[in-house]
Structure 1
């Protein structure tokens, strides 16, 4: 009688180790460099009198409102979910909308104008691409509670000073300025005024915002029926007729003058005269005067092609653009482009309070700026020394080894005790992989003599490449010293001093 066959035992489900699409892991060297970069930005923001504030990563979706990056409904452009009360929550898509909620909620106790800065991760539920992630960091500074154009001019100065403090030389960047009221006047003239045309206006703004990426003909397509990109994806257009598109493009292509004042005058010549346009031009004139008087006129330039893609901007808009060239993913030489931007958003706080609360601000795209600084050689290599590794030769003497580690740490030396269960060979391999400059060893012989052995792993690696056989290695005993137990810290410090300035 044959035995019945056993059913195969299903394998346990193993999730695939993979990072989510549009996200990335960040490792030690970049994290440390980013911290130094953020500290420099913070120094400049503090010098300007801004104070830090933090807001949560998650906000009620209605607090973000109709200004979501893609559409005014949950989970379009943002990552959203419902809580136990069935209220929609969203990961913040920028740091400005949460600030507006914070100011509205704490309005009566805050000084006005309220000046603050904050850094943090933001999230966009949008199609990722080369260099375009769904999670990225921003670093913002904002002034809330004044409509003085001097506040807008100061934002431009802040942007310039921050770039220079980070090591971007004058001439390698430009702070480009425009005013959305001027464009709103153009939109009214072509019949796109009013709330009923808000969606088409946003499509127009996004089309213009892509000028530096797709060129004037690409923008013309997006103002009309739409555009097919090289990947085959089709982006619907704003549906403007040719005459309306020409009016928009005439505004965008208004000739820059020798001075900001001359550029404003050129705009007056090509734009229809209406109250909205006139108000925007006057604000541009005031900003131009402020930056010229403060000595920033050579770095801050009025540029009609700057629009910023979000709908909540109400007047002044600004972009910090790097003007040098670099290779893109396809090896083509392209201008680096924008590393930050912002503008005036007088309606965000008003949504909560029902009263006018003007505001203006600037946001740095930290990852973009980091890439630019790395390209320019302004990112320092990791200057944090790897820890000294104390090997565990006798598992019954863990306390003794931990005491060595404590002595080194008390002396300001990074140190760790090996916490695995492997033997000496594996422990030495671990120290190598950690990048340790030296390893501390005390076996039974060293303990009996009251000594410790210290291996210079960097010198040892160099010597091993020159030594040809095992006997020669043993005879040379390269990069290894034995000292009294009480001289541990001094001996380790001497070895580390060989490799640090």
Structure 2
């Protein structure tokens, strides 16, 4: 009996890869990129007006250059994305732009002018749990002065921060630069007996409670400084947050120093009284007073820059004045719920950061704008144009045999500084080409068929006006009047002038 031949095994269909984006990251389109470009250019102009010059550092640094200055970490690469090089050295994506600058200054110390004033913009990376408003990659724009211990350098950062906000279109009264000093907070800790490494945990609890003064009343913060607080307001209601366990007297000192006051003189006087026995605290109060006098002398009142001893900056490397830019604008999300933007920039003095590499004191201070966070806030507030920018002029292909003629038109427009492209899809019909131009948000298209070629002409179709005509309802006279403007023929030699006329009419920048 003859064996029946086996059927060949059916080839498995290859598994299609699913397109997906990791959490905490985001794609960006042309409109968002254009908005970022406008923002960074505006910030750059302000920074350069203050005498700062650009510098770039790599995206990656040796992990020990960032190391212990990351918050809440107990391992060398906690909080950062790291890998081990082939020489077994740990390398990390930068967590911020300040630590890489410190390394750069230390490495080039002898060749740089001191004080060294520089700015830089770029993405930073955080290996943290992503959530609303918390991203693993986001853009910052920093400016730093290295080599000056003068409070004038800190005051200048605060003034520059205020100028940058207003240059970005945030009106006065809609933001505030809040200024404190880590020495003041250290003085508070000394005054309530929480100095020393053994009290590090309780100090952190106190600082977290102070940081809630923007969100809770002083009475509620007092609970966080004392035994603890129930979220529901009463015992047994909601979640319980354990407090710092301070006495009533010590909690009174903390709140007495950090209470918000509109007049900087009152804030300074209160801190001076409560921290009378702390040498560190007194030094911080003196520096705050000097900064307040400097910014006031330059015309920056409390509606722009405010002394606020409740400001707590998270990074451990701050050693003196610290500052935060807070948006005061009200907004709601897509569900109508109120949104609080909080800090969109900040910085401070970090006199120990460069010193780690040099082994000698190197004073430094800096300020950083969270470009991604600020852009998200301004977009929600409607202060950033999210409409897509106009695309290029599209030269259509009427006759496949004349591609060289159409490409010459494109080159002519480009040489005149006008964005232009040749339609490179399948030119089987003009309708598809016009739909493509619409999707590219093109201001106009150029058409040349055999008849126009014979007469030495080109047809210019104004797509912006055409879109307006499509919205007209019932007004026949207006429609007919504008219809003649939406499509014009010009001599081929006048191509550039004809296109410029359309672009200028609609305010489209062409150079």
Q: Give me the TM-score of the superposition, normalised by structure 2.
A: 0.86
Match of 2:235 in 1: none
Structure 1, 264-273 or 108-117: larger mean CA deviation: 264-273
Structure 1, 237-246 or 51-60: larger mean CA deviation: 237-246
Match of 1:499 in 2: 506
- Is the 1:173–1:322 contact (alpha carbons within 8 Å) kept by the matching residues of 2? yes
1:214-252 per-position Cα deviation (integer Å, ceiling 9, x unaligned) = 66688678768999999xxx9998873243995388247
Match of 1:447 in 2: 453
1:322-365 per-position Cα deviation (integer Å, ceiling 9, x unaligned) = 22222246533354322111111111011111111111111111
| Structure 2: 5+ residue stretches without partners | 233-237, 475-479
Match of 1:362 in 2: 367
Match of 1:324 in 2: 329
> Which residues in structure 2 correspond to 1:220-369 (within 5 Å)?
240-243=244-247, 247=251, 250-251=254-255, 254-257=258-261, 259-271=263-275, 273-298=277-302, 299-328=304-333, 331-369=336-374
Match of 1:70 in 2: 72
Q: 1:479 Cα shift?
A: 3.5
What SS is found at the alignment partner of 1:126? coil
Match of 2:393 among 388, 391, 410: 388
Q: 1:255 Cα shift?
A: 3.5
What SS is found at the alignment partner of 1:421? coil
Structure 1, 162-171 or 322-331: larger mean CA deviation: 322-331
- Is the 1:457–1:479 contact (alpha carbons within 8 Å) kept by the matching residues of 2? yes
Match of 2:26 in 1: 24
- Is the 1:104–1:349 contact (alpha carbons within 8 Å) kept by the matching residues of 2? yes
- Residue 52 and residue 336 in structure 1: after superposition, are their counterparts in 2 closer, same or farther (change >3 A)? same
What SS is found at the alignment partner of 1:324? coil
- Residue 114 and residue 452 in structure 1: after superposition, are their counterparts in 2 closer, same or farther (change >3 A)? same
> Is 2:47 the partner of 1:40?
no
- Residue 408 and residue 71 in structure 1: after superposition, are their counterparts in 2 closer, same or farther (change >3 A)? same
| Structure 1: 5+ residue stretches without partners | none
- Is the 1:32–1:382 contact (alpha carbons within 8 Å) kept by the matching residues of 2? no
Match of 2:489 among 470, 482, 490: 482
Match of 1:137 in 2: 139
What SS is found at the alignment partner of 1:132? coil
> Is 2:120 the partner of 1:118?
yes
- Residue 348 and residue 242 in structure 1: after superposition, are their counterparts in 2 closer, same or farther (change >3 A)? same
What SS is found at the alignment partner of 1:137? strand
- Residue 246 and residue 422 in structure 1: after superposition, are their counterparts in 2 closer, same or farther (change >3 A)? farther
- Is the 1:178–1:284 contact (alpha carbons within 8 Å) kept by the matching residues of 2? yes
- Residue 251 and residue 96 in structure 1: after superposition, are their counterparts in 2 closer, same or farther (change >3 A)? farther
Q: Give me the TM-score of the superposition, normalised by structure 1.
A: 0.87
Query: What CA distance in whole angstroms lies between the structure 2 residues aligned with 1:42 and 1:287?
Result: 24
1:424-467 per-position Cα deviation (integer Å, ceiling 9, x unaligned) = 23222111111112211223343334332332333444545679
1:71-122 per-position Cα deviation (integer Å, ceiling 9, x unaligned) = 1424421111111112111111111111111111111111111111111111
Match of 1:53 among 46, 52, 55: 55
Q: 1:388 Cα shift?
A: 1.0
Match of 2:214 among 212, 215, 232: 212
Structure 1, 339-348 or 188-197: larger mean CA deviation: 188-197
What SS is found at the alignment partner of 2:342? strand
What SS is found at the alignment partner of 2:301? coil
Query: What CA distance in whole angstroms lies between the structure 2 residues aligned with 1:120 and 1:229?
Result: 39
Q: 1:191 Cα shift?
A: 4.7
- Is the 1:192–1:201 contact (alpha carbons within 8 Å) kept by the matching residues of 2? yes
Query: What CA distance in whole angstroms lies between the structure 2 residues aligned with 1:238 and 1:142?
Result: 38
What SS is found at the alignment partner of 2:464? helix
1:446-500 per-position Cα deviation (integer Å, ceiling 9, x unaligned) = 33343323323334445456799xxxx9xx9994333332232233233333322
What SS is found at the alignment partner of 2:397? coil
- Is the 1:442–1:452 contact (alpha carbons within 8 Å) kept by the matching residues of 2? yes
- Is the 1:177–1:316 contact (alpha carbons within 8 Å) kept by the matching residues of 2? yes
> Which residues in structure 2 correspond to 1:106-185 (within 5 Å)?
106-185=108-187
> Is 2:19 the partner of 1:14?
no
- Residue 60 and residue 214 in structure 1: after superposition, are their counterparts in 2 closer, same or farther (change >3 A)? farther
Match of 2:477 in 1: none
- Is the 2:30–2:389 contact (alpha carbons within 8 Å) kept by the matching residues of 1? no
Query: What CA distance in whole angstroms lies between the structure 1 residues aligned with 2:458 and 2:385?
Result: 35
- Is the 1:204–1:238 contact (alpha carbons within 8 Å) kept by the matching residues of 2? no
Query: What CA distance in whole angstroms lies between the structure 1 residues aligned with 2:256 and 2:371?
Result: 28
Query: What CA distance in whole angstroms lies between the structure 2 residues aligned with 1:166 and 1:142?
Result: 20
- Is the 1:178–1:305 contact (alpha carbons within 8 Å) kept by the matching residues of 2? yes
Match of 2:414 in 1: 409
